[in-house]
Structure 1
């Protein structure tokens, strides 16, 4: 077979035909190569033929020529016009910080068919001789300002606004409004039209698109919502992150089950509210020390609420509350962290590296003088360094408590009575520090409970977690048994009636545990006591002391490190029943 092919090719006529074919093929290839070479040389540094930027033809131009041409063609464009119901509405481009990016637009046109794929580029650049390509203009604008302008225009046009369904719990009764169908501006579609119009440089008047909206509830939908809402009555949900705590009761939960996938619903609004309280930028540490700490800011991660996960968690917990017998759930708010650039450990050599414990208390309902005293006393403790092996004394650190040192008169417990005295409210500070010490796992050397249960200390805590002080008789003391210094910081917020103690140091892996306080031997308060007072006008009643139930409260405190209990103690508080006392005026009427 191979021999026959060779004989065939050796024939003179065949040789001549093959030779002619090769010559023609070479000539054609040379012509094609030469044409491509000439084409590429001509368009070297130029935009390929057939290319438009919006409605401006820039084919064959060098980039600088294309820029000048675009500048001239775009000059005078200062607004885009919308129309609805034969009425025009202008959006001026300066009002939305609009500007064309001509450099970027021309760069995109020049880079067309100039990539790393040689075959693709060469094929399509040659096709541009007969095929036109229209590129959009590159531009910048302020999206929020555009939305604000559209919102104003939407408020001016006349449509039948829809009324969305609502769901509330009022005095234990489920109130459902079905909603009313209507129309509203389709913002997403309108913004898309505006963007396209600006990108291709058309001066068309754009019709404002309006969408029919019907979210009304039918009978079945109302019945399901009502049943689910009733299953949430007397139930609650608590959301926590660090010191932020948001408690939701049944009337707060019920509106959240009415979801709207197309628009912001009540749950979205709540999450936005949580974001404002929780989100923060990263905070670098600051440490200034001169005999005592003059300025300290711990490093803190930047925090942003993980909205998607929080929404899922809330919906899941609400479903479980509605379907089960549990009365409440607690959610730790999921967050996304961004580390600080300068950490606490990098700004000192005292072993102050991290937060090792914290405690908080509330004082809602306090009189102004008591709030003043809480702020003053907490400032005296703020910045205190406790050396390794040192026992901290609250009274010693606080110093003299009197009018001479800036304290005002507020209610204190003295000689079995509640009376006005200098420094009322100082025990709020010692109580809060006691809670921080427990949380940090430090040994408590001395602590005494109040004579009776004080309502301030049970606003955000179980009973029995208080510590009274009264120099020189009663003190609060704890031991720093860590290997480094510890730093005590206070956060006093009179607007939120909140006091927080933070203890910083070096963690040695210890973990503290506090059992739930056991309340026993409850005794009702004595009958109210009325005492005649001739200094008060007849008919006047003035309360000078307040009733409180007596009880014995105990809890166990233990500290574990590496699987070993290193400290444990049982705290017992014996609260006396307290009598409400009134002064009854017997003097002459004014």
Structure 2
């Protein structure tokens, strides 16, 4: 007998939770019983087939339960590598195989949902490789006495520190730094709005985006999006600033080198330093990345 491609969904009755290791990733083990599998047969065909739409919904639900994002390796302030950590997700291919085997074999009374590790894009070896050659740097200064603004600068600098931009990849300041909120520790500090000084959460981070803009002003980097403030700012020369806002302007650029770029940012003792590194074999790649 020929069977159509099939699938299912089921209400999960989790067995007592155990911890399992998937290549160094610790996650919860999820098992399904026979009664759960049987109730997801396609209707009106004598339970010969599985409902594909329900299967997709099921796998999405299960993945939300077990998913853990990978953590990239990074460099600390002393240049020492802090190892990353793999994440975990549902193994979709093995899920399809294993469930079908269990669904059609009534002697199988239990099916364990398979998981797999998700390895981080940035590991120790890559960080060491792309920290060999400094391509650019820029320094600005700030008043430490303004503690709220200093806090915001330190948080934004930490967010972009150790970030890796791969060849052809777009770096977005807003995406990498994320929304500036009180929950993340950002403070109310002066900002420029339509040429006037005001106060808002995250005031001061435009100094970080502006310092970054000047550090990445290199032949192998394409500035994609940059906006100037409505009035001059004191920390960079006129025309050398890059304003950002979560609900407004972003600063973004594309890596057109043949190697990944490593960003280092440090705000300490009233000095903000942003440096750009890469491999010692880095060169401007002429291909027009889309």
Question: Of residues 64, 74, 95 in structure 2, which corresponds to 1:294?
Answer: 74
Bigger-Rg structure (1/2): 1
What is the Cα-based RMSD across aligned positions, in Å?
Answer: 2.8
C-alpha separation between the residues in 1 aligned to 2:74 and 2:282? Answer: 28
Taking the TM superposition and a 5 Å limit, the aligned residue runs for 1:339-358 are 348-349=125-126, 351-352=129-130, 353-358=132-137
Counterpart of 2:159 in 1: which secondary structure? Answer: helix
Give the gaps of 5 or more residues in structure 1: 1-289, 300-346, 511-560, 568-590
* Residue 414 in structure 1 maps to residue 199 in structure 2: no
Taking the TM superposition and a 5 Å limit, the aligned residue runs for 1:127-276 are none
C-alpha separation between the residues in 2 aligned to 1:359 and 1:381? Answer: 14
Tell me, yes or no, if the aligned pair for 1:356 and 1:440 is still in contact at 8 Å.
no
Report the CA distance shift for 1:566/1:360 in structure 2 as closer, same or farther (over 3 A).
farther
Query: How much does 1:441 deviate?
Result: 4.2
* Residue 482 in structure 1 maps to residue 257 in structure 2: yes
* Residue 463 in structure 1 maps to residue 238 in structure 2: yes
C-alpha separation between the residues in 1 aligned to 2:145 and 2:244? Answer: 18
C-alpha separation between the residues in 2 aligned to 1:448 and 1:354? Answer: 29
Report the CA distance shift for 1:403/1:483 in structure 2 as closer, same or farther (over 3 A).
same
Query: How much does 1:417 deviate?
Result: 2.2
Partner residue of 2:179?
400
C-alpha separation between the residues in 2 aligned to 1:421 and 1:438? Answer: 28
Query: How much does 1:409 deviate?
Result: 0.8
Partner residue of 1:506?
279
Query: How much does 1:291 deviate?
Result: 3.1
Higher strand share: 1
1:533-565 deviation line (CA, Å, top 9, x unaligned):
xxxxxxxxxxxxxxxxxxxxxxxxxxxx69xx9
Taking the TM superposition and a 5 Å limit, the aligned residue runs for 1:93-132 are none
Report the CA distance shift for 1:357/1:566 in structure 2 as closer, same or farther (over 3 A).
farther
Report the CA distance shift for 1:485/1:384 in structure 2 as closer, same or farther (over 3 A).
same
Partner residue of 1:378?
157
* Residue 445 in structure 1 maps to residue 224 in structure 2: yes
C-alpha separation between the residues in 2 aligned to 1:358 and 1:456? Answer: 15
* Residue 472 in structure 1 maps to residue 252 in structure 2: no
Report the CA distance shift for 1:465/1:566 in structure 2 as closer, same or farther (over 3 A).
farther
C-alpha separation between the residues in 2 aligned to 1:407 and 1:436? Answer: 24
Question: Of residues 260, 267, 270 in structure 2, which corresponds to 1:492?
Answer: 267
Tell me, yes or no, if the aligned pair for 1:356 and 1:507 is still in contact at 8 Å.
no
Tell me, yes or no, if the aligned pair for 1:358 and 1:440 is still in contact at 8 Å.
no
Tell me, yes or no, if the aligned pair for 2:154 and 2:266 is still in contact at 8 Å.
no
Partner residue of 2:95?
none
Query: How much does 1:398 deviate?
Result: 0.8
Query: How much does 1:420 deviate?
Result: 1.1
1:353-374 deviation line (CA, Å, top 9, x unaligned):
3222211111247621111110
Which has the higher relative contact order, 1 or 2, with Cα contacts under 8 A spaced 6 or more apart? 2
Higher helix share: 1
Partner residue of 1:425?
204
Aligned length: 173
C-alpha separation between the residues in 1 aligned to 2:232 and 2:287? Answer: 31
Query: How much does 1:439 deviate?
Result: 4.5
Counterpart of 1:475 in 2: which secondary structure? Answer: coil
Report the CA distance shift for 1:349/1:395 in structure 2 as closer, same or farther (over 3 A).
closer
* Residue 388 in structure 1 maps to residue 167 in structure 2: yes
C-alpha separation between the residues in 1 aligned to 2:205 and 2:165? Answer: 20
Counterpart of 1:451 in 2: which secondary structure? Answer: coil
C-alpha separation between the residues in 2 aligned to 1:509 and 1:483? Answer: 6
Partner residue of 1:16?
none
C-alpha separation between the residues in 1 aligned to 2:152 and 2:210? Answer: 14
Counterpart of 1:453 in 2: which secondary structure? Answer: coil
- Could you tell me the TM-score, scaled by structure 1's length? 0.27
C-alpha separation between the residues in 2 aligned to 1:485 and 1:566? Answer: 15
Q: Give 4+ residue runs of structure 1 displaced > 3 Å after superposition.
A: 296-299, 507-510
Tell me, yes or no, if the aligned pair for 1:364 and 1:456 is still in contact at 8 Å.
no
